[in-house]
Amino acid sequence: MNKDKEATATGTSLNGSSDGVIHRTGPSSSRGPSNNTQNNNNNNSAVPNKDAQPDAITNSDTSSSLDTTEQLKRSFRKKYRHVEAVHSSSTPSCLSHDATETPSFLGFRNLMVIVLVVGNLRLVIENIQKYGVLICVGCHDFRKTDIQLGLCLYFLIPCHLLIAYAIESIAAAQAKYERARSDKRDGSTSPTEDEHNRFQSTWKMVWVAHAINVTYVLVFTSYIVYYKIHHPLIGTLTEIHAVIVWLKTASYAFTNRDLRHAYLHPVKGKLDALPEIYKQCPYPNNITMGNLVYFWWAPTLVYQPAYPRADKIRWIFVFKRLGEGICLSVFIWFASAQYATPVLINSLDKIASLDYPSILERLLKLSTISLVIWLAGFFALFQSFLNALAEVTRFGDRSFYDPWWNSESLGMYWRTWNKPVYQFFRRHVYSPMRSRGWSHKVASLTVFLVSAILHELLVGVPTHNLIGVAFLGMFLQLPLIQLTQPLEKMKSNSGKLLGNTIFWVSFTILGQPFAALMYFYAWQAKYGSVSKVMAAAAAHPPAYATCPA
């Protein structure tokens, strides 16, 4: 027997049946006969028809029944609020290691930024109250010769790129001549022994010329900075410029060497193996002054005949990035002069007396401001300046860094924070050594050895103190990389968290602050207050002390 349910708000009535199936009927009418007829028709629809096909029940009827059932459930839930199932499944806490999804830490990031700003602002205010305003625009110790030599080197250093262009122009002309006089082959065979020997002899001469050129730019600039330029800021900028040109010149020589070999030996498959983008400017068409000048100003250390290019220059974007860079540079200057310098000066006597607890306290105090200065410098260089330069040159690839702050090991940090340098060493040092049969450890050791030497040149030469702290700080990264590499490969979040913690501790406390203290002390011992105290003590030695009664 069917029992009529009460009508819904839409005028649809529900008929229950003994088999538990709910049948939907049409809207009721005020007319009695027609209403009865309609109900009879609806009731008869529940009776199976022997002539009906199996697909008589359509998907719309099924979905309609499901919608009605869901409406009933919702109405029941609204009526019985106290029986709602709050705990219906096993769910871990979002900060637990067994959480299935990693929560977003955007709020914590904002909190840490606020804490850094407020905490350092309090320290700066306390510093101003204690020492007064130490900012002096007109106070500087620039020597006239420092500025003159710095400007001269700024224009002389890029000349080595022009020398590299002249060397490659001669090599390209020689390659065209060799290509013309060689036997015409269909490219299906490898180069003959005579062709291979001629290429090797030519490459040796080109290699020697490039080696002399790149060595001279680094040695000559380092000599002038170390012995002739007194101010460390001018010396640092000059040395950075020399290292950049050194890296660019080396990349220009190595890349054109391989392109010249492929041009002289057009074996089938080898030319096709070259990157597709190189077809926009094949060798030797890339050996032009315009191509070199673009590479000189492009925000990359790796040479390519062609790069991905943007369609137009967005000057509003350029001005925004330049404004960011200028504001951050002023902030770095203010924080260094007002806060970092007093901390360094107050650490000199602690280092001289080897007061290790006080030295540790100075390191911890210096770590905060050094981290803020470094982060501001990173953003100013990689986000503001390089993006502005890329926009002006229409350089398309703006991936100058990856999210290094999430590094789960020291190796990941060195691969992601400075991608132009990483790409240079991987392309021109690590990969060629691996292709020649060297092991991963030897290739990595070579990369960090060269990088450690360059770090010592960038820090020790401008400060006139080659004490090896920057070299060891870079070279000793290899044991830390080996220590944290297993943590990076762990699937659990605890290993990644531990690796990221080791990275931040070694970076913020044991790395930069210690190096800053050592080089500042060495500078003061050679030119500053420490040297004056030592000279005064040597000129007027103290009398022998006697024990009190």
Catalytic residues, by residue number, are 455
Distance of CA 504 to the CA centre of its chain: 15
Q: Is 187 left (phi over 0), alpha (psi -120 to 50) or beta?
A: left
Distance of CA 309 to the CA centre of its chain: 21
d(CA 153, CA 241): 9
Helix/strand/coil for 14 = strand
DSSP 295-308: HHHSS-SS--S---
Residues 25-36: b if buried by 16+ CB within 10 A, e if exposed = beeeeeeeeeee
DSSP-derived secondary structure letter, 46: T
Residue 240: other Cβ atoms inside 10 A: 13
DSSP-derived secondary structure letter, 309: B
Q: Cis peptide leading into 284, omega within 30 of 0? A: yes
By DSSP bridging, strand 3-4 and strand 12-16 are: antiparallel
d(CA 75, CA 180): 89
Q: What is the 3-state secondary structure (H, E, C) of 69-132?
A: HHHHHHHHHHHCHHHCCCCCCCCCCCCCCCCCCCCCCHHHHHHHHHHHHHHHHHHHHHHHHHHC
Residues 357-371: b if buried by 16+ CB within 10 A, e if exposed = eebeebbebbbbbbb
Residue 451: other Cβ atoms inside 10 A: 19
d(CA 458, CA 240): 6
- Phi then psi for 508, rounded to 5 degrees? -90, -25
d(CA 473, CA 454): 12
Cα 134 to Cα 6, 231, 342, 371: the distances in Å are: 85, 19, 9, 21
CA angle 335, 341, 344 (to 5 degrees): 130
8 Å CB contact between 264 and 181:
no
Q: Is the dihedral of CA 332, 338, 344, 350 positive or negative?
A: negative
